[in-house]
Structure 1
Amino acid sequence: MCRIFGHFDAQVTRHELRTVAAVQRHGGPDAQTFADGAGWALGNNRLAVMDPSGGSQPYRLGEHITVVFNGEIYNHAELRARLTALGHRFEDTCDGSVLPALYAEYGADFTEHLDGMYSVAVVDLRGEAKLLLVTDELGMKPLYYHWDDRTRRLRFASELPALLAFPGMRAGVWEPGLDEYLSTKTPFGEQTMFEGIRVLPPATTLTVTRSGGLRTSRRRTRPRAVVAADTGEAGERVRELLRTETHRLIRADVPVSVITSGGLDSSLVSALAAEAAPDLHSFNIAYAGDWPHDERHFAREAARRSGTRHHQVEIDPADFPSLLPEVVWHLGQPNADPITLSTYALFGAVRDAGFRVALTGDAADELFGGYDRIRAALDVPPDGDWVSGYLDSLAAVPRGLRESLYAPAYRDFVRSRGSVADRIAHALVSSGTSRMESLTAFETGSRLPAYHLRRVDHLSMAASVEVRLPFCQPSVVRYATALPRELKVRGGRGKLALYAAAEGLLPASVLGRPKQPFTLPIAAMLVPGSALHAFARDMLAPARLRRAGLLDPVAVDRLFADQATRPSDRSALAIWSLLVHELWLEQFVPGMGSADAPARATTEESAA
């Protein structure tokens, strides 16, 4: 696992490359290396997980193929054997060392042979110089890039702060960003909150040459799996697939742990992982004090049943104001889910306990219909409006409230442009598939990579911890997405096949508990007199909001008044979301969030 960065024709000095590497060193503290040539450079920050004594990047094949890589290739032993039979030789057993030879044999189609999570950069100097950037099928390892069509220069990095550290990079706000963020809790799709900076979508290959410029292509999806006829058979197959993947993912050359939240998904992963790792350590996070939705007792029961050595991590809400700016920095753009703070603290504790790898249960709800919003949308009659309620459930701030919070000029801009919610609604109803298929495709293809996977990647790697995701493995994804609705959601219950898979592996208390969100009890914490409320009130002071010009200070004051007199999830999450956005402005966009610089200041692209 690593961080990668580089450029094509961007005229970056070696000193400047070292600066970029330093910004994301937390994600690769073991080595910072790069290779460069005429008009290109590839760099790497290494977190040594496989073959710690080998695996030096960039990887090379002769003088013409250079590769850097972030992620894990789980079938690297099989690939190494195949490539050795073709005449290639390898100096170590690190997973990424197979990539140059694999690319040499198969060209841009080399990704068809990879089983894992990855973002890869290849410079190919055979013939005209060429740079390729590729991502895995679900986007588990994000990659951000900036392409200047005028100067024909490309820069890329695994993290947004590192990309912004390249010389000549703009740091301007993408004007629709605030509304898109509040509509979906983080920007979906390729566009980031920064003008001109994009994130490479899942299963995408980007190619840059001097003659052809930049081209991107989405790779074909793999065939669907054959599915079961009933829930029991589906549960057996899901358990078999998850057991295979979890047993494979638990292997590493460094200590491996599991995250056990106390819910079905992570508890099942923990139980299956413990089968292959007898001395497995599990981690759960909770908050000092007495708060709603405390899951620690469920996590303890799951850990006891699985036989793991359990670690209970506890953080004090009084520390949230000091932790939250760190969270926003590492994410690089706003994410409105309060769980980001918990995630950051949890992986810090995993690292402090001596672990470099952790398995989690992320993506099960998207694949198996676990969210309340999915079940509610499916329960609407065929001729009813199932989209509006679903879209409101995605939002950090419901449509009517968020428009009332905007300054008049920004409200007019949003109305003239149209809302992202309208575009999502159109895509959902015009997909040409069943409602279940449309929802699953959107949840896994749009929301999962943007909202979950980037958050997990950035906040775990902030602590130098690699997260592995059994539910995101292709065999599980293909099977789950092919399951018909009645094997996932029926009678007001979701994840039917997954519950069937967990029978006999988890305590009855975990299997029978009602679903609840794994998040901060934000409505109870964001009340007058708390450290978090005082911090939010200061960050969202009227003078600050007027400088940015996006929000109506009077409307935001009313929001605080509502939360003080009638605390609710609705007003608390709205305040939290605005607080996160203001922290992002302060850190990344000089002038819009600070007290000293002029509004809307940007660092303009330097002259070529």
Structure 2
Amino acid sequence: MCRIYGYFNAIASVHEVRAVAALQRHGGPDGSGRTLTGTWGVGNNRLAVVDLDGGQQPFHLGERITAVFNGEIYNHDELRRRLRRHGYRFADRSDGGIIPALYETYGEGFVDLLDGMYTVAVLDRRGAVPKLVLATDHAGMKPLYLRWDAAARSLHFSSEIPALLGFRAVSGAPWEPGLHSYLSSKTPFGEQTMFSDITVLPPATTLVCDLGQVPRTVRRGLPEREGSHFSGAAEEAAAATELRERLRTEVRRLLVADVPVAVITSGGLDSSLVTALAAEHGAVHSFNIAYRGHWPFDERHFARQVAEHAGTVHHQVEIDPADFPALIEDVVWHLGQPNADPIALSTLALFTAVRDAGFKVALTGDAADEVFGGYGRMRAAAEDSAAHGDWYQTYLDELAVLPAHLRHGLYTEAYQDLVRASSPIPEEALERLRRGPDTVLRRITDFETSHRLPAYHLRRVDHLSMAGSVEARLPFCQRDVMAMGAGLPDALRIRGGKVKRVLYAAAAGMLPQSVLDRPKQPFTLPVTAMLAPGTPLWVYARDMLEPRRLAAAGQLEPGAVDALFTAQTEKPDDTTALTLWALLVHEVWREQFQGGVRRTGPLGVAA
């Protein structure tokens, strides 16, 4: 596991390159390496997980092929055996060490053979014109950010946005519709980021850039939906058995490492099932996070029941809500752009505690809801479409911080004019969601796994786990599991008002009945209760969202935001609280990355 960076057909000083590496060293504190020339360079920061004494990057094959790599290739032993039959020899057993030989043998299609989570950069200097090849994994578990200069035909890339901004060529200017996009989907979907000249390479994509030419991209597509051999609800037990075995296989594979591996146990179905399957292979340490004090939706007792049932060594992590202001600033910095999910704070604190306890790898339950139909909005859309066909706008409003008719009421007239003609979510994706040939549930599943999952969940998990120098591994994102989930009949995912039918059936007998029977709730902060007058979070939000700041930015109407504070004081509700939270996160991002108005102390001195 590493962080990678580089530039192509550009000039970068050694000072710039060292700055870029330093900005993401938390994701690779165990070593670093780089290869630089006058017009291109690549480098990495290493988090040593496999072959601790080997795996030094960049990887080279002679003088003509150079590669850097971020992630884990789970089938590297199998690929190494195949390449040895082609005559290749390897100095170590690191997973990334096979990439140059694999590329030489199979060309740009080498990524089709990789089973894992990754971003890869290969520099090929065998032809008359050097070529850069970038590739991402099938689900987007390992993001890669790009800056393409069309005039100069130059490309810069990095695993994290703050590091990419270390290159002087990257302006970091804001993407003006960004706030509107953010409030519409809780973080920008698609390739565009909150920065006008920074994009993100989509999942399952290969980008090829010949020196001096415009890059071309190939979308390899998500794991193909399996033609399900389960015809409907009557075969739920058989489908559950197959799913349990697939998950068992993936968990076993993902436990393999040369460093200690832990599991994250929220107390919900998904992470609890991963915990139970991991515990089949011996003693395992489980981690849960909770908040000091008494708050709604505390799940620690469910997590403890799972740990006792599975026989794990359980770690209860607690964070103090008084520390949230400082934690928000750290989270926003590491993410590089706003994400409105309050659980981001807990994610960073949890993975930091995991590393402090001596673990470099942790398995999580992320992505089960997207793949197996776990969200209430999915159930509602499927039921509404069956009843009267009117589901689309309600579903989109459920994805947003607040419904569309309320969002525009927060904007100044000038900002309303700016975003009026823009689509906050990529229009091509919305068109497939609206009018695709499949059932509504399948169209929603494709949309969420292609757009929401990588943008909203996987980037958050990647950046905040690596901020704590921990590699997060995700069994539900593995190809066999995603392919099966996408191919299941609707009735095996959502039926009779219940979600994730086949996953609950797969977990039957493996978890405490109290966990299987509990109502589903989001794994998040109880922000409605925590954002109350007099709390440190409230004081911080009032400070950051004071009218002078908002007026200077020119996007939000100060009076409308002030009315949210009044409403939250008089009659708190989830939508108002989440809106204030989201606006707070956006303002922190604006201050950190756009030179927003600085907070001032009591004497007017910058805080």
TM-score, normalised relative to structure 2: 0.96
Q: Structure 1 418/469 Cα, relative in aligned 2: closer, same or farther at 3 Å?
A: closer
Runs ≥4 in structure 1, deviation > 6 angstroms?
A: none
Q: Report the counterpart of residue 605 of structure 1 in structure 2.
A: none
Q: Which amino acid aligns with 1:343?
A: T
Residue 558 of structure 2: aligned partner: 553
- Distance in 2, matches of 1:223 and 1:547, equals 48
- 8 Å CA contact 1:387–1:425 kept in 2: the answer is no
Give the 3 Å change call, closer, same or farther, for CA 536–240 of structure 1 in structure 2: same
329-338 or 9-18, larger mean C-alpha shift: 9-18
- Partners of 1:402 and 1:315 in 2: how far apart? 32
Q: Could you tell me which of 577, 581, 602 is aligned with 2:586?
A: 581
After the TM superposition, which residues 110-129 of structure 1 pair with which residues of structure 2 at under 5 Å, given as runs?
110-127=110-127, 128-129=129-130
Q: Aligned AA for 1:551? A: L
Q: Tell me by how many angstroms 1:9 deviates.
A: 1.5
2:529 aligned residue? 524
User: 1:473-530: CA deviations, max 9, x gaps?
Assistant: 0010111100010011000001111011111110000011010010000000001000
Which amino acid is the alignment partner of residue 217 of structure 2? T
Deviation at 1:420, TM superposition (A): 3.3
Match status 1:373 vs 2:374: no
Partner of residue 249 from structure 2, selected from 244, 248, 269: 244
Contact 1:136 1:204 in 2 (8 A): yes
Pick from 343, 347, 355: which aligns with 2:351?
347
Q: Which amino acid aligns with 2:501?
A: L
* Number of aligned residues: 594
Aligned with 1:309 (options 270, 294, 313): 313
CA contact (8 A) 2:189 2:426 kept: no
Q: 2:409 maps to what in 1? A: 404
Task: Measure how far apart 1:59 and its partner are.
Answer: 0.4
Checking the alignment, whether the CA contact within 8 Å between 1:369 and 1:494 is kept in structure 2 is yes
State the partner residue of 2:603: none
Q: What is the match of residue 604 of structure 2?
A: none
* 177-186 vs 214-223, greater mean Cα deviation: 214-223
Q: Which amino acid aligns with 1:131?
A: L
Q: Which residue of 2 aligns with 1:70?
A: 70
Change (3 A) 1:411 1:6: same
Tell me whether 54-63 or 30-39 shows the greater mean CA deviation. Answer: 30-39
Corresponding position: 1:513 with 2:518: yes
Partner SS for 1:244: helix
C-alpha distance in 1 between matches for 2:530 and 2:404: 24
Q: Equivalent residue for 1:150?
A: 151
1:432 shift after superposition: 2.1
The worse-fitting range, judged by mean Cα deviation, of 455-464 and 31-40 is 31-40
Task: Say which of 326, 330, 336 aligns to 2:334.
Answer: 330
Pairwise mapping of residues 230-269 of structure 1 onto structure 2 (< 5 A)? Answer: 230-269=235-274
Residue identity in the other structure for 2:203 = P
Letter in 2 for 1:396: V
Displacement of 1:148 after TM fit? 0.1
Given that residues 183 and 421 in structure 1 are in contact (C-alpha distance below 8 angstroms), is that contact kept between their aligned partners in structure 2?
no
Q: Which residue of 1 aligns with 2:185?
A: 184
Per the TM alignment, residue 426 of structure 1 is displaced from its structure 2 partner at its CA by 3.3
The code of the aligned residue for 1:486 comes to: A
Residue-by-residue CA offset, 1:433-475 (whole Å, 9 max, x unaligned): 2112101100101100000000000000000000000000001
Match of 1:493 in 2: 498
In structure 2, distance between residues paired with 1:95 and 1:593? 46
Structure 1 residue 417, shift from structure 2 partner: 2.9
Match of 2:458 in 1: 453
Q: Report the Cα offset of residue 322 of structure 1.
A: 1.1
* SS state at 1:580 partner: helix
Q: Is the CA contact 2:11–2:38 (under 8 Å) kept in the aligned structure 1?
A: no
Distance 1:418 1:287 in 2: 38
CA contact (8 A) 1:391 1:421 kept: no
Q: Tell me the alpha carbon deviations over residues 543-598 of structure 1, each in whole angstroms, 9 at most, x when there is no partner.
A: 011111110001100010000000111110000000000000000012x44479xx
Instruction: Choose 579-588 or 421-430, whichever is displaced more.
Output: 421-430
- The offset of 1:169, in angstroms, is 1.4
Residues 267, 595 of structure 1: alpha-carbon distance in 2 compared, 3 angstrom cutoff = closer
Letter in 2 for 1:552: E
Within 1, Cα distance between the matches of 2:597 and 2:290? 31
1:215 is displaced (CA, Å) by 1.1
- Residue 279 of structure 1 deviates from its aligned partner by 1.7
1:319 aligns to what?
Answer: 323
> Is 1:132 aligned with 2:133?
yes
Aligned partner (choices 566, 569, 579) of residue 564 of structure 1: 569
Contact 1:546–1:553, Cα closer than 8 Å, also in 2: yes
SS of the equivalent of 1:420 reads: coil
Structure 2 partner of 1:604: none
Aligned to 2:100: 100
2:295 matched residue in structure 1: 291
Partners of 2:470 and 2:78 in 1: CA distance: 26
Which SS does the other structure have where 2:143 is aligned? Answer: coil
- Counterpart CA distance in 1 for 2:223 and 2:350 is 35
Q: Which amino acid aligns with 2:357?
A: A
- 1:582, 1:593 within 8 Å by CA — same for their partners in 2? no
Aligned partners of 2:544 and 2:599 also within 8 Å: no
**Shift of residue 407, structure 1, vs aligned partner:** 1.1
The answer as to whether partners of 2:4 and 2:70 remain within 8 angstroms in 1 is: yes
Offset at residue 222 of structure 1 (A): 4.8
1:221 and 1:534, CA in 2 relative to 1: closer, same or farther beyond 3 A? closer
Distance in structure 2 (CA, Å) of the matches to 1:559 and 1:24: 37
Instruction: Specify whether residues 564 and 232 from structure 1 end up closer, same or farther in structure 2 by C-alpha distance, changes over 3 A only.
Output: same
Residues 207-222 of structure 1 correspond to what in structure 2 (within 5 A)?
207-222=208-223
Q: What's the CA shift for 1:211? A: 4.4
- Taking the aligned partners of 1:226 and 1:400, their CA distance within structure 2 comes to 40
Alignment of 1:168 with 2:137, yes or no, is no
Q: Provide the TM-score with structure 1 as the length reference.
A: 0.96
Cα displacement string for residues 197-221 of structure 1 (whole angstroms, at most 9, x for unaligned residues) = 1000001011111243211110145
The residue aligned with 1:601 is none
**Per the alignment, do residues 567 and 221 of structure 1 end up closer, same or farther by CA in structure 2, a change over 3 Å counting?**
closer
Cα 1:583–1:84, aligned 2, differ >3 Å: closer, same or farther? same
* C-alpha deviation, 1:38, in angstroms: 4.0
Shift of residue 37, structure 1, vs aligned partner? 2.5
Partner residue of 1:602?
A: none
Is residue 2:227 matched to residue 1:206? no
1: distance between equivalents of 2:38 and 2:423?
A: 44
User: d(CA) in 1 for partners of 2:14 and 2:170?
Assistant: 17
Please say if residues 359 and 470 of structure 2, whose CA atoms lie closer than 8 Å, have aligned partners that are also in contact. Answer: yes
Q: Could you tell me how far 1:247 is from its partner in structure 2?
A: 0.5
Query: Retained in 2: the 8 A contact 1:391–1:425?
Result: no
* Shift, 1:418, TM fit: 4.5
SS of match in other structure, 2:421: helix
Displacement of 1:225: 2.9
Contact 2:543 2:599 in 1 (8 A): no
